[in-house]
C-alpha cells in the first residue's frame, strides 16, 4: 500500500466526554487527531492519548474558576511534524472574545494546517470549526467567512481538510465546499449529530472530510457514542495530481 496516515477528527464538546474519548483514541491510536471545541486546559490530557500537540488555536474564552479557559481547535500527531500554521479567517488570535450567550456566533474562526511526515512522504492535514448559525441556514456571516476560508485554502494547496462545518450537507455552505473539494463522507451517513433530547434527534451532516486531488481518503466511516458529534475516521494517502 502507498504511504498513508490514519486520521480521526472529532468535535469533543469541551470536557464533557473525556472518558469516552479516551477509550476511543486508545483503541484507535490514530497517527493524527484533529479536535474541535477543545479547551486549552485539556491539552495535557489529549497529549497522553493522542500524541504531542502540533498546534492549538483559540477561538473563544469561557468563564471558569479560578480563571477563564480558551476554547478552540487543535491538531495532535504521533508522527514528525515539518510545519504548521494557524490562519484566522474571522477575527484574530490577539482579540479572543469572552463567550456571550446573546451573541454565540462571536467566536473567531481559524484554519489549522500541519505538514506531517510518514515514510518520507509529507501529508498536509487541515482542520476548522466553521461559523455557526442557529438553524443551519446560510447567512451573510457564513458567506463572508467561507470566502475568507477559501482564500486560506487556496494558499494551502493540496490538503485533506476535516472539521465541524456547522452547515448541513446538501445545503448552501456544504455544497459550496463540495464544489471545490471532494466530499469523502459516505452517502449512507445522514447525520453527524448524536441524537439527544436537547437536540431533538436532529439529523444534520455538518462534519466533513474534504480532499483536493493531491490526496485520497480511504475506509472513511463515522463513529457514534464518543461525543455529541460523530467522530470521522479515515486513512489518508497521496493521490494523483
Give 10-residue mean pLDDT values along the chain (241 residues): 93 98 99 99 98 98 91 99 98 91 84 98 98 92 97 97 97 97 97 68 87 98 98 93 56
Calpha distance 235→164 (Å, rounded): 18
pTM: 0.95
Q: What is the pLDDT of residue 41?
A: 97
Q: At what angle do helices 172-180 and 140-156 cross, to 10 degrees?
A: 20
Which homologous superfamily does the CATH classification assign to the domain defined by 4-238? Endonuclease/exonuclease/phosphatase (3.60.10.10)
* Model pLDDT, residue 241: 56
- Would you state the pLDDT for residue 198? 44
What distance in Å separates the CA atoms of residue 88 and residue 128, rounded to the nearest whole number? Answer: 10
Is the bond leading into 66 cis (omega within 30 degrees of zero)?
Answer: yes
Count of other CB atoms within 10 angstroms of residue 77: 25
Distance CA 56, CA 42 (A): 11
pLDDT value, residue 185: 98
Look up cell 509529507; give the residue.
122
What's the confidence (pLDDT) of residue 197?
Answer: 39
Amino acid at each position: 500500500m502507498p504511504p498513508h496516515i490514519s486520521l480521526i477528527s472529532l468535535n469533543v464538546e469541551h470536557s464533557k466526554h473525556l472518558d469516552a474519548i479516551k477509550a476511543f483514541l486508545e483503541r484507535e491510536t490514530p497517527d493524527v487527531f484533529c479536535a474541535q471545541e477543545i479547551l486549552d486546559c485539556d491539552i495535557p490530557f489529549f497529549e497522553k492519548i493522542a500524541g504531542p500537540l502540533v498546534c492549538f488555536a483559540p477561538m473563544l474564552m469561557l468563564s471558569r474558576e479560578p480563571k477563564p479557559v480558551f476554547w478552540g481547535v487543535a491538531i495532535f500527531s504521533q508522527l514528525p511534524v515539518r510545519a504548521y500554521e494557524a490562519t484566522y479567517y474571522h477575527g484574530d488570535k490577539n482579540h479572543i472574545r469572552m463567550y456571550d450567550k446573546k451573541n454565540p456566533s462571536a467566536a473567531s474562526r481559524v484554519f489549522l494546517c500541519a505538514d506531517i511526515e510518514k515514510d518520507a512522504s509529507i501529508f498536509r492535514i487541515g482542520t476548522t470549526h466553521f461559523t455557526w448559525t442557529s438553524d443551519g441556514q446560510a447567512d451573510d456571516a457564513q458567506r463572508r467567512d467561507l470566502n475568507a476560508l477559501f482564500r486560506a485554502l487556496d494558499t494551502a494547496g493540496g490538503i485533506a481538510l476535516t472539521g465541524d462545518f456547522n452547515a448541513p450537507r446538501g445545503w448552501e455552505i456544504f455544497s459550496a465546499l463540495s464544489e471545490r473539494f471532494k466530499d469523502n463522507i459516505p452517502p449512507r451517513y445522514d447525520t453527524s449529530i448524536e441524537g439527544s433530547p436537547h437536540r431533538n434527534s436532529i439529523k444534520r451532516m455538518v462534519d466533513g472530510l474534504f480532499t483536493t486531488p493531491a490526496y485520497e481518503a480511504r475506509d472513511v466511516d463515522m463513529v457514534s457514542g464518543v461525543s455529541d458529534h460523530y467522530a470521522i475516521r479515515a486513512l489518508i494517502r497521496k493521490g494523483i495530481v
